Structure 1
Amino acid sequence: MDRRIKELVDLTKKKFGLDNYYLKQHSFYRNVNIFNKTIYTLCMEWFPNHIIEQEDDESNPEGAAVIEINLHTRKFERVIFVMGKTYAKDGITFANLNLNNMINWIEYETGLTYGKQFQLDKQEEGAFRFRECIDGVAVSPSGYIEVNVNQEGDLTLYRVSGQFPSKEMVKEEAYTLTLDMIEHLAKEQLQLVEFPSYDQEKMIPVYAVEEIYVENDGMLTIPFEFITDVRSYLKIDKIMNWNESINVPFERKEIGWIEDVTTEQAFSAEPSPDTFPITKAEEDRCVMTVKDLLRQEYPNDTGKWILKTLHRDKGYIHATLRAKRQENRVFQRKIKVMIDANSFQAVNYIDNKSMLEMFEEFQVPDNGMITKEEAYEKIKELFELKPYYVYEFKQNQYILCGKLDCQYGVNASNGEVIALADL
């Protein structure tokens, strides 16, 4: 075993009291974070000493420990004792489930400050979830810290996800945005959408707010869909047109979701290919590849699809398409095409058509509906505008925004105000 790996293995064994365990296997993983930096982790699987063989389905046995450590910060990012069972001796424990002791431990482990960079989000019996913040203000996309313990207070799960940025990456300012300032935007974001009711087997027309982030000056907006993921996208927005189809069936290939990462790549922090920008030449080849796949699989759909974005992921370039003509429904028609980043050949694709087909037999709304203006008057007092620090990819900075949202909608058929969570 490489001495650098052994050092981390020994550190892990001592820290989590794994004297009753042996290291079953280990491997390296790499991911690209929101800042386009490559993060390498060492993943270790520890088995209790009394268990020699793995389960028939290759799942880890009860009491096994899966532990991941960031190679460069040497901070632990994931600790899971399978099925909440631990055989750790003198491991991490929180006597009497003392929350203050837990917070102090998290601060020591992460280097973060409670109330400034994370705060308690949810607490249940033996399960605690903390949410990322910046000086108490929510962050998007948000990070989380989870801690689970058993009845004795022994650690059974610890997981850290998110960025928790330094002060240098935050554009701090006083929050001044109000709903009165963006009333025109609030009206624009109220959209008529059909929600499926599985119990009634019909589509329910509802005026609901499409979430959006509004910058603190009230001038610019950031669509919610581009904040919910932790990667940057190359926007294309190109309608796919063609004159001739291709009469050769497309052959799907298996996608390899796990990369083979060597020890030297990991410890030298070699940048992942996913960090490289998509060049104009690569963009052009991807557009042609997507068009050829559509010509094969959707020969009669010329002009019906828009190539929205391209992004890299695990050695592939993913192309996301949306139907040019969309129904006013919660679930929209889309296709994702996976392209080999070296050969620029399409290897597979996913179409959500089959999922949407289940709604085709649902009863559609009649024409007797209230107007958008009437719906707005019923619901405007229930609009929410909460401060958020949002990561803006172009500025490479967290900027202060207001998140415009509403937990309620208006049934367009009868004018009833309803909780969206109940749909």
Structure 2
Amino acid sequence: MYEKVEQFEEIVRKRFGLQQHLLYDYGIFKKDGRLPLEQTHVLSLEFFPPGEFERIEDSNPDGTAVIDIDVYSGEVLSMLYVSGVRTGTPILLPNEDEVKRWVLEAQPTKDMLPLQVQKSECNLYMLQTYVDGIPLSPGGLIEVKVNERQELTSYAKFGSFPPSAMVQKEDYQLKLDEHMKHQAAEQVSLVQIPSVKNKEWVAAYVFDEVYVHNDGQNTSDYLMDVRTSVPVHKKMMWDEPLEEEFKEGVLFKSEILKKGWPAEKPHPLKIVFTENELKRVEEATREFLRRAYPYDSGKWELGRVHMDKEYVIAHLHRANDNRLIKRKLAVYIDCVTYKAINYMDSQLFLSMYNDLKPSKEAKINGVHAFEQLWDCATLEPWYVYNPKSNTYEICGKLDCEYGIRADNGERVTVNDLFL
């Protein structure tokens, strides 16, 4: 295995000027690839700067170069110097043009969608994928950070970078017309929003973000992991709890360490579950609830299921809960045995809202609130990934940044309601 590691080691040393650095550690792990649903193996290399030979309290010394490489394409997926201390050969990136040039040269293929450069604070450049100025979901993001001398200190790629052939171009047909108004009316919900500043819950009417297909008829939910999510929307019921408590297992990382070089590229993530597989996920989730939350029959809804490397993850939320920030569970299920291994509960995070006063009585009806929201609704074109066709299709993202307080009818931004 080390012979293959050495090949990448030499490439990285030359590229970043690390000839005098010590390769202290390395490992291989599984990671999402450049395309939706794709997975790949990544080699992570840790180079200590000259004069450093060991970790200090399990931490790498300042100036350590940590570099991740796709083992199949040889592409550098990320690099950083610990604490931002540049110790290799300086790579000068004095402006946006130089940043973009360097990033494009670092890509493994020239068939990639255009990148738009935006510079934010602290010398951080952000480059995003666009098609004719239209963003993608899920899209790709590249972050490049430089120090005060305009020297590269970190680089990282996130998300999907599809080739142009995956984008199904067509003229955008959607408008904020009467037909769209009917679509929008179905997206308004009365929710409870925590206002920390006022120490109370605020009842407000808001839009649920949604993608409207270009035919104006169908919609898709706005999800961060829309690539692999399968909607279920089923309330979890049972007659009796199980006496034996749920015992949490260890969630294994996908790291291979130094046991051997991967024999083949990982299979793509599952996006279609058979009826039997979904039934087994549902049964595993119910069995988990009967052990971990034995008296909560009917209180949880299985919202969606998705595959994440070694595990099927069942996403649940409190049933009949109209709070904008719901209590949620993520149950990790072994994809071979279909047994729940571990879980995450958002209750601890939500405890910060325990002392908030209940919301005031709602005096505004939904019809009146919708008319106010419709006046400031937005419909913006996005290319959205369709897992069935494995293409990106033009859609309209229907949204509104405002909410209508149900107690007094005031229109305020949703962000302000959270303050």
Q: State TM-score, norm by structure 2.
A: 0.91
Instruction: State the Cα distance separating 1:238 from its structure 2 match.
Output: 3.3
CA distance in 1, matches of 2:273, 2:186: 34
Q: How many residues align?
A: 415
* Conserved? CA contact 1:116–1:136, under 8 Å: no
CA distance in 2, matches of 1:233, 1:275: 9
**Other structure's SS at 1:321 match:** strand
Letter in 1 for 2:392: Y
Aligned to 1:414: 408
Instruction: State the Cα distance separating 1:253 from its structure 2 match.
Output: 2.0
Instruction: State the Cα distance separating 1:279 from its structure 2 match.
Output: 4.6
**Other structure's SS at 1:403 match:** strand
Instruction: State the Cα distance separating 1:278 from its structure 2 match.
Output: 4.5
Matching of residues 16-35 of structure 1 within 5 Å: 16-33=16-33, 35=36
Q: State TM-score, norm by structure 1.
A: 0.90
Aligned to 1:243: 239
1:278-330, CA deviations, whole angstroms, 9 ceiling, x for partnerless residues? Answer: 5544433332222222222333333333323333334222222233322x211
Instruction: State the Cα distance separating 1:404 from its structure 2 match.
Output: 1.0
Evaluate the alpha carbon distance shift between residue 290 and residue 111 of structure 1 in structure 2; reply closer, same or farther with a 3 A threshold.
closer
Aligned to 1:43: 44
* Conserved? CA contact 1:28–1:261, under 8 Å: yes
| Percent of matched pairs sharing the same residue | 32
* Conserved? CA contact 2:75–2:108, under 8 Å: no
CA distance in 2, matches of 1:340, 1:246: 20
* Conserved? CA contact 1:289–1:344, under 8 Å: yes
Is 1:120 paired with 2:117? Answer: yes
Matching of residues 17-416 of structure 1 within 5 Å: 17-33=17-33, 35-56=36-57, 58-89=58-89, 91-94=90-93, 97-110=94-107, 116-180=113-177, 181-225=179-223, 228-229=224-225, 231-260=227-256, 265-266=261-262, 268-272=263-267, 275=270, 278-326=273-321, 328-416=322-410
CA distance in 1, matches of 2:279, 2:257: 30
Letter in 1 for 2:97: N
Q: For structure 2, which runs of at least 5 residues remain unmatched after alignment?
A: none
CA distance in 1, matches of 2:281, 2:112: 45
Instruction: State the Cα distance separating 1:115 from its structure 2 match.
Output: 11
Instruction: State the Cα distance separating 1:358 from its structure 2 match.
Output: 4.0
* Conserved? CA contact 1:309–1:319, under 8 Å: yes
* Conserved? CA contact 2:202–2:360, under 8 Å: no
CA distance in 1, matches of 2:226, 2:368: 38
Letter in 2 for 1:177: L
CA distance in 1, matches of 2:172, 2:281: 42
Instruction: State the Cα distance separating 1:171 from its structure 2 match.
Output: 0.8
Instruction: State the Cα distance separating 1:67 from its structure 2 match.
Output: 0.6
Instruction: State the Cα distance separating 1:244 from its structure 2 match.
Output: 2.2
Instruction: State the Cα distance separating 1:69 from its structure 2 match.
Output: 1.2
**Other structure's SS at 2:168 match:** coil
Letter in 2 for 1:307: L
Larger deviation, residues 242-251 vs 78-87: 242-251
CA distance in 1, matches of 2:200, 2:111: 47
Evaluate the alpha carbon distance shift between residue 68 and residue 335 of structure 1 in structure 2; reply closer, same or farther with a 3 A threshold.
same
Q: For structure 1, which runs of at least 5 residues remain unmatched after alignment?
A: none
Evaluate the alpha carbon distance shift between residue 196 and residue 350 of structure 1 in structure 2; reply closer, same or farther with a 3 A threshold.
same
Instruction: State the Cα distance separating 1:156 from its structure 2 match.
Output: 0.2
Evaluate the alpha carbon distance shift between residue 81 and residue 377 of structure 1 in structure 2; reply closer, same or farther with a 3 A threshold.
same
CA distance in 2, matches of 1:231, 1:377: 33
Instruction: State the Cα distance separating 1:176 from its structure 2 match.
Output: 1.9
The two structures, once aligned, show a CA RMSD in angstroms of 2.5
* Conserved? CA contact 2:60–2:82, under 8 Å: yes
Letter in 1 for 2:279: D
Letter in 2 for 1:315: E
Instruction: State the Cα distance separating 1:59 from its structure 2 match.
Output: 1.9
* Conserved? CA contact 1:273–1:315, under 8 Å: no
CA distance in 2, matches of 1:273, 1:123: 34
CA distance in 1, matches of 2:274, 2:220: 25
Evaluate the alpha carbon distance shift between residue 394 and residue 261 of structure 1 in structure 2; reply closer, same or farther with a 3 A threshold.
farther
